[in-house]
C-alpha cells in the first residue's frame, strides 16, 4: 500500500471513529466529496480550541475564525507532493468559486496549519504561504500547541525518519475541512477531490448571509 493511499484510509477511518461512538453516515462520493445526505447519531467532534501563531507573528485562536467559513488543511512545508497539491486544489477551488459567486468565495477563510513546527517557523510559513491563495492564513506554534490543534481536528501525523539521514518526512492525514461560521464541521474533501469538487462543495454549503458583517 502506498503512503498516499495509507494516508487517505487513515483519515477516513479517523472521521468514522471521531468522538467515540459517533457514526458518520456520510458516504464518500466520486471526486472525494462527502455527501450530506443521511443521518447520524450525533454531531461530528471535529474542531475546537487552539492557540497558534500566524505568518506575521500574531497570535491566533479559534476565535479568529468565528463569524465566517474556514477551509482548513493540516500539512507541512517540506512535504514533497501531497501538501502542495492539496493547497493548490484549495486555492484553485476558491478561484473557480469566485468567478461564479464572489460573495461566497470571500466568505471563506483558507487556513494552513503545520504539523511540523520544528522546521516550519513563522518565517518559513510566510514564504510558503505566498505560493498559494493571497488570503491564506498560515499557522504554526510550539510542538505542544500544534499537537493540541491536530487533536481538536482529529488529524493523524507522525514523523518518519529516513535511514542514514538526519532529514525526515511526516506521515499525516490529508483532509480539507470546511467549518461553519460557528466553528462547526460542515463537510470535508479528500486528496482525491479536484478543484472543481471543492468549488461545487463550497457553493452548496456557503451562505454569505451568515457571515459576520455581511
DSSP annotation string for 71-100:
EEEEE-TT-SSHHHHHHHHHHHHHHHHHHH
| Share of residues in the chain with pLDDT > 90 (%) | 74
How confident is the model at residue 44, as a pLDDT?
75
How confident is the model at residue 106, as a pLDDT?
97
Angle of the 82-100 helix axis to the 195-205 helix axis, nearest 10: 50
* Position 214 confidence tier, pLDDT thresholds 50, 70, 90: low
> Cell match 463569524: residue?
67
> Cell match 488570503: residue?
135
Q: What's the pTM? A: 0.80
Q: Is the pLDDT of residue 27 over 70?
A: no
CATH code: domain 3-36+45-208 is 3.40.30.10
Average pLDDT, integer, range 133-148: 98
Q: Distance of CA 193 to CAs 44, 57, 107, 154, Å?
A: 21, 32, 21, 19
In terms of DSSP H, where are the helices of the chain?
3-17, 82-100, 102-106, 122-129, 143-152, 195-205
Mean pLDDT score across all residues of the chain: 84
Q: Is the pLDDT of residue 36 over 70?
A: no
How confident is the model at residue 81, as a pLDDT?
93
How confident is the model at residue 2, as a pLDDT?
44
Q: Which of the two residues, 4 and 172, has the higher pLDDT score? A: 172
Q: Is the pLDDT of residue 165 over 60?
A: yes
Average pLDDT, integer, range 72-96: 97
Q: Is the pLDDT of residue 76 over 60?
A: yes
Q: What angle do CA 141, 143, 149 make, to 5 degrees?
A: 70
pLDDT tens digits for range 97-107: 999 999 999 99
Amino acid at each position: 500500500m502506498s503512503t498516499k493511499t495509507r494516508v487517505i484510509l487513515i483519515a477516513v477511518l479517523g472521521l468514522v471513529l471521531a468522538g467515540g461512538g459517533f457514526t458518520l453516515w456520510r458516504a464518500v462520493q466520486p471526486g472525494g466529496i462527502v455527501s450530506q445526505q443521511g443521518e447520524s447519531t450525533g454531531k461530528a467532534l471535529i474542531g475546537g480550541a487552539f492557540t497558534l501563531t500566524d505568518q506575521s507573528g500574531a497570535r491566533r485562536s479559534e476565535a479568529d475564525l468565528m463569524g465566517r467559513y474556514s477551509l482548513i488543511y493540516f500539512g507541512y512545508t517540506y512535504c514533497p507532493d501531497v501538501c502542495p497539491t492539496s493547497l493548490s486544489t484549495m486555492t484553485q477551488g476558491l478561484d473557480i468559486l469566485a468567478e461564479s459567486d464572489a460573495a461566497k468565495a470571500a466568505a471563506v477563510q483558507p487556513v494552513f496549519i503545520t504539523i511540523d513546527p520544528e522546521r516550519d517557523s513563522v518565517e518559513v510559513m510566510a514564504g510558503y504561504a505566498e505560493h498559494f491563495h493571497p488570503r491564506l492564513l498560515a499557522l504554526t506554534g510550539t510542538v505542544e500547541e500544534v499537537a493540541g490543534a491536530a487533536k481538536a481536528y482529529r488529524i493523524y501525523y507522525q514523523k518518519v525518519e529516513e535511514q542514514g539521514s538526519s532529514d525526515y518526512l511526516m506521515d499525516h492525514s490529508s483532509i480539507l475541512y470546511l467549518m461553519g461560521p460557528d466553528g462547526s464541521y460542515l463537510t470535508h474533501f479528500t486528496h482525491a477531490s479536484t478543484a472543481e469538487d471543492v468549488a461545487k462543495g463550497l457553493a452548496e454549503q456557503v451562505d454569505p448571509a451568515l457571515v459576520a458583517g455581511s
